[in-house]
Amino acid sequence: MSSGRFAALILGIAVAHWLAYLGFFSLAFALGDAGAGGVGPVLVAIPVAILGAPLMYLLLLPKVIFGPPGWWGDDSNLLLMIAAANAVLWGWGLASLIRRQVRKATEAA
């Protein structure tokens, strides 16, 4: 796999991950604001937790770690930036696994 294809694969996976995560997160946020209970919010919370790993757990740290209050603007800016970094991390990881499997398949043939 050429480096251009590898970069395109990383970008494609990252964009898909970012959109999926923000979609599930927005739905979970809306359900929480609406006071919805039951199975629906749980089924949305599972993909949010999986897609949010590992970098979203940084939000559990004190806000002081991310700079002075207001430095990021509002909290949504910080959330979007961490989600983007997490998406790139997922894209790189999955693209690396795909590249390894392609190499194994071509070497075996």
Report residues of the chain scoring pLDDT below 50: none
Segment 40-54, tens digit of pLDDT: 788 888 999 999 999
Number of domains in the chain: 1
Which residue carries 């999986």 as its tokens? 50
pTM of the model: 0.82
Full residue range of the structural domain in which residue 79 is found = 3-108
How many C-beta neighbours within 10 Å does residue 85 have? 15
How many C-beta neighbours within 10 Å does residue 48 have? 21
pLDDT of residue 95: 95
